[in-house]
Structure 1
């Protein structure tokens, strides 16, 4: 299962289970809580009515006295009230009075006068000085037919000894509280569903945030494993950012170690030939040789020494570019003025080889594109391409430098440099951008360091562009540097 789903289901399971158990407890407590409140109200009512009935009970006319007359029409008393959204239209109380033997002397419903209630819990316990209450079904098969009975003693005045004259019981069907219980349950369930929905949303948001961070780290790790330039995507003080920094630190240390090992290997390999030539010439100079040979050997030493210096300098420059993960100081760079300056600087070298340099924009009247980047690195990269084109151009040849701007918001700025040279052998095309790989010059001059095109490729990648070198259909080679155009 995907890690995001695991995190989400784990979070939602914990929160959902906690919410479910909490809701269940609430729902289970609603009904008992309402009935307990009703019982407390019935107890208060019973004691108040017991005080009011004491005089008629003591005088022996509880069945037809003022108290009985007032309560006789209790069930028919109209009520016009809306309580918590529930409509109430009648009094639900029933009042019964029993004597000290437990015989019913008065019944507001008029049905049980003369009945023996002495064994009912409310009457039985109250006559013995205890709290008397019970809940009894009117229909044994119907759980919702229960009626709650709460009793209070009817006593004489304290000055007369406070004797118990009887018991007054107030009863009320539990079914009358069902609408309130149902309404409370609905509210609890509604808020519970809202809670679950909020938990779902929070869990989803947290999961997406966490998975988004993990996917950034995953893409970063894959890019690093593929040898691509990649910037650490996470910032801040969170655990994911800390993990990302740890991965980046490990990567840098491993890359530094591998980079140094690789460079030492390649540098020592490439330095063998110049050092061997210098060593051989130095040994011959220790012997008596003709002046012409001495001058030739000394020139060889100087030439190989310059080659070593040039190789080391370019290698250090390439190493600096390869170690960069991003451009530190980016600014708009107009390509046409930069190329015009490079053409002017390369003119003496081109004239020495009878090569013509030609700079143009495509189409001719089109404004030259601008790119975002580091001017020094772009200058060095373009200078390498122009230098290569001059070196491989024959006498009286032309190096054509064209600046092309692609239209659109996501357009590219393209520099295309064509020469009239012999072109690139098929076997060399896949290796042109390898470090230290170089082809012999057409006029028999020494090979270059083989680091120029590698440097151009690194600069292009650093600017989110790319470089290609291919043969032209009519002869010669074409180098193309493509960079993202700056937004205007």
Structure 2
């Protein structure tokens, strides 16, 4: 499982558990909170009404008192009020009054007058001087039928002479409870959705950054020319820059070691030849032989210089990860410049050159492309039979241009096909001698820098053909 997906799932798990916990707490606290508010209101109401009916209860005129009559009338009234979107059409208070023995003297519902309520907690506790309240189901099998009863003492001085209880069905506030719970669920769902979107955005950003870093690491592992992508200034960017610095150091160390090893190996032969010729020159010998050994020394020295120059050019392009600048270049002048550079070698070999090019443009480095074409042309001249024709062509193929250099020589042996682009690998040329073996590796590096490819194959009609493919400008 990808690290981005694992982080996303972990984030969702944490957010989901937190959301479930908070919603569960809120949902469980809504109903108790509303009922506590209702109870507080009932306490105030009961205390107020108890003080109002106390004079009539002391005088024994409760049943005929104006206060009792108004309480009866209040119970019969209807209303039409909207509270936060919830319609209220009835007054839900029930009020009853008992004497000091718990017998009901007054009841706004007029159904329990004369009943003994002394065992009910609201009356029982209040008569003992305690806070009396209870919640009782009107229907024993219906949890939503509970009614809250809150009592207040009716006093004559310090004595409790009765109890006034105010009752209100909990179902009357149930719509408010359900409305609050519904709002909490809706807001919680919105919050969870926003958290989901934030998590997705974060996971996408992390996956995108890690994917770019991973593609970079895979390209480095494959030996491709690649630049470190822009990763920002956060921890991932710091990690990427650290990997880039480590890559540069490791590649530099390995490259130098390999370069020194191969250079020392390739220089052994010309140095040995120069050493042998120089030693022989100390002896007496005929002038023609002495001249021959001097020519050998000069040739081997030129070979060393050519080897070092080409190796330095190859080093520069191998260490270069991208082109510093690109310009629009017409392909025809590039081919003509390469032909001009190889004119002396063509004449010395007695080989003709034919240019067949379409008018197309590429984008890149003029000098590097000119050197690469020169190397391809030099290889073709070296293997072309005297008096033959070399074809230098450029043709558009879709979104690229194929530059081909074809000779009419013996072609490429099967054993050498896979090694043509190895550093210092070369085949004997028909006229004798070998090249430095650095020309084709140089061309390959230039092609990579320009986003192109290069290959050398045997042509179906004989000879070899080098193909350099470059993107069109």
TM-score, shorter chain, exceeding 0.5 = yes
SS in 2 for 1:229: coil
Aligned to 2:201: 205
Q: Distance in 2 between matches of 1:112 and 1:74?
A: 18
Tell me the CA shift for residue 316 of structure 1.
Answer: 1.1
Q: Mapping of 1:334-345 within 5 angstroms?
A: 334-345=330-341
Task: Indicate if the aligned counterparts of 2:337 and 2:370 stay in contact, CA closer than 8 A.
Answer: no
SS in 2 for 1:73: helix
Q: Distance in 1 between matches of 2:326 and 2:27?
A: 64
Q: Distance in 2 between matches of 1:174 and 1:62?
A: 29
Task: Indicate if the aligned counterparts of 1:56 and 1:66 stay in contact, CA closer than 8 A.
Answer: no
1:227-259 CA distance string (max 9 Å, x none)? 222222342222222222222222222211211
SS in 2 for 1:74: helix
Aligned to 1:436: 424
Task: Indicate if the aligned counterparts of 1:223 and 1:229 stay in contact, CA closer than 8 A.
Answer: yes
Aligned to 1:144: 144
Tell me the C-alpha RMSD between the 2 structures: 2.0
Task: Indicate if the aligned counterparts of 1:326 and 1:462 stay in contact, CA closer than 8 A.
Answer: yes
Q: Distance in 2 between matches of 1:268 and 1:318?
A: 16
Q: Distance in 2 between matches of 1:87 and 1:268?
A: 99
Tell me the CA shift for residue 141 of structure 1.
Answer: 3.6
Task: Indicate if the aligned counterparts of 1:322 and 1:458 stay in contact, CA closer than 8 A.
Answer: yes
Q: 1:391 aligns with which of 373, 376, 382?
A: 382
Q: Distance in 2 between matches of 1:5 and 1:357?
A: 60
Q: Mapping of 1:354-365 within 5 angstroms?
A: 354-362=350-358
Which region of structure 1 is more displaced relative to structure 2, 94-103 or 118-127?
A: 118-127
Q: Mapping of 1:27-106 within 5 angstroms?
A: 27-106=27-106
Q: Distance in 2 between matches of 1:291 and 1:431?
A: 43
Q: 1:449 aligns with which of 413, 430, 436?
A: 436
Aligned to 1:469: 456
Which region of structure 1 is more displaced relative to structure 2, 20-29 or 5-14?
A: 5-14
Tell me the CA shift for residue 162 of structure 1.
Answer: 6.9
1:420 maps onto 2:416 in alignment: no
Q: Mapping of 1:114-133 within 5 angstroms?
A: 114-133=114-133
1:204-237 CA distance string (max 9 Å, x none)? 3322322332233332222222222222234222
Give the paired residue count: 473
Q: Distance in 1 between matches of 2:411 and 2:343?
A: 22
Q: Distance in 1 between matches of 2:413 and 2:142?
A: 101
Aligned to 2:215: 219
Task: Indicate if the aligned counterparts of 1:104 and 1:113 stay in contact, CA closer than 8 A.
Answer: yes
Task: Indicate if the aligned counterparts of 1:79 and 1:91 stay in contact, CA closer than 8 A.
Answer: yes
1:480 maps onto 2:467 in alignment: yes
SS in 2 for 1:372: strand
Task: Indicate if the aligned counterparts of 2:410 and 2:462 stay in contact, CA closer than 8 A.
Answer: yes
SS in 1 for 2:415: coil
TM-score (norm 2): 0.94
1:300 maps onto 2:296 in alignment: yes
TM-score (norm 1): 0.91
Q: 2:190 aligns with which of 194, 207, 210?
A: 194
Q: Distance in 1 between matches of 2:128 and 2:13?
A: 55
Q: Distance in 1 between matches of 2:166 and 2:91?
A: 12
Tell me the CA shift for residue 392 of structure 1.
Answer: 2.3
SS in 2 for 1:34: helix
Tell me the CA shift for residue 29 of structure 1.
Answer: 0.6
Aligned to 1:365: none
Q: 1:248 aligns with which of 244, 250, 260?
A: 244
Tell me the CA shift for residue 55 of structure 1.
Answer: 4.1
SS in 1 for 2:266: helix
1:33-89 CA distance string (max 9 Å, x none)? 010011111112222323333443344322232122222233431111222222211
Tell me the CA shift for residue 278 of structure 1.
Answer: 0.5
Q: Distance in 2 between matches of 1:485 and 1:40?
A: 84
Task: Indicate if the aligned counterparts of 1:16 and 1:199 stay in contact, CA closer than 8 A.
Answer: no
Task: Indicate if the aligned counterparts of 1:389 and 1:419 stay in contact, CA closer than 8 A.
Answer: yes
1:369-414 CA distance string (max 9 Å, x none)? 222222221121111112222222233322221111234xxx0122
Q: Distance in 1 between matches of 2:56 and 2:332?
A: 118
Task: Indicate if the aligned counterparts of 1:213 and 1:234 stay in contact, CA closer than 8 A.
Answer: no
SS in 1 for 2:402: strand
Which region of structure 1 is more displaced relative to structure 2, 71-80 or 262-271?
A: 71-80
Aligned to 2:162: 166
